[in-house]
Amino acid sequence: MVKLRHTDAIDLLSELADPLGDPNAIYLGQAASPAKALTTTDNYQDGRRLGLHVDNWDKLSYAEKHRGRRRLCLNLGPGTRYLLLGDIDIQAICRTVHHDYEHHYPHTDDLRTYVARHQPLRCLRIRLAPGEGYIAPTELLPHDGSTEDQPEPSTAAFWLGHWPRGVLPSLI
């Protein structure tokens, strides 16, 4: 959980992550989320929301999944939003649902199979005020955003990169 060192004078949001230690970081853009949304990630194929999912930007195999880039998310407001975070990683999920997991490419469908088989999954709900965010291995951990119980919408900005620890002040 992180907070920007300075939120004033951000001319180009796409360049916000430039001084954070990864010259190859990629700005993914923004996602506007309505108020009171249980989850926020849209499934553009059918218009519904994905819910808990794992990212697959890097298209990594089971053995490499833990090496994926991490996501920087910044809540731009105006409302509060939440990070929903599963307590088990996709590699452990694959070991549970596949006999040949070592030759598998982990996917959100594996998470759905895991849950459908009534396997245990706890979910943390972490509050992010405007100006706060997170750096997380979203290729590895089930996650989503939420504005549940919030009266205002929230927009988030996203980047992918390999950032060193301590690059932004921790909120924890």
pLDDT per position as a tens digit, 57-92: 999 999 999 999 999 999 999 999 999 999 999 999
Dihedral angle at the C-alpha atoms of 51, 57, 62, 65, nearest 10 degrees? -100
- Tell me if 134 is assigned to some domain: yes
2-55 pLDDT per residue, tens: 777 655 445 667 777 777 788 899 999 999 999 999 999 988 788 888 899 999
* 6: helix, strand or coil: coil
Domains identified in the chain, total number = 1
In-domain check, residue 121: yes
In a domain, 14, yes or no: no
Q: Give SS3 for 146.
A: strand
**pLDDT in the model for residue 8:** 47
What's the maximum distance between 2 C-alpha atoms anywhere in the chain?
Answer: 52
Q: What pLDDT is stored for residue 9 in this prediction?
A: 46
Q: Establish if 23 belongs to a structural domain.
A: no
Is residue 145 domain-resident? yes
Name the pLDDT band for 119 (thresholds 50, 70, 90).
Answer: very high
Q: Which domain holds residue 52?
A: 35-161
Residues in the chain: 172
Cα–Cα distance for residue pair 65/142, rounded to 1 Å: 13
Whether omega for the bond prior to residue 19 falls within 30 degrees of 0, making it cis, is no
pLDDT at 6: 56
Q: What does DSSP assign to residue 7? A: -
Residue in 23, 102, 95, 28 with CA at minimum distance from that of residue 61: 102
Query: Does 94 map to a domain?
Result: yes
C-alpha to C-alpha distance for 99 and 104, rounded to whole angstroms: 10
The C-alpha angle 9, 72, 111, rounded to 5 degrees, equals: 155
Residue 114 neighbours by CB under 8 Å, 6+ apart: 93, 96, 97, 121
Residue written as token pair 């090496």: 67
**pLDDT of the residue at 172:** 64
Give the pLDDT of residue 50: 87
Is 1 contained in some domain?
Answer: no
101 within domain boundaries: yes
User: Tokens 């089971």 belong to which residue?
Assistant: 62
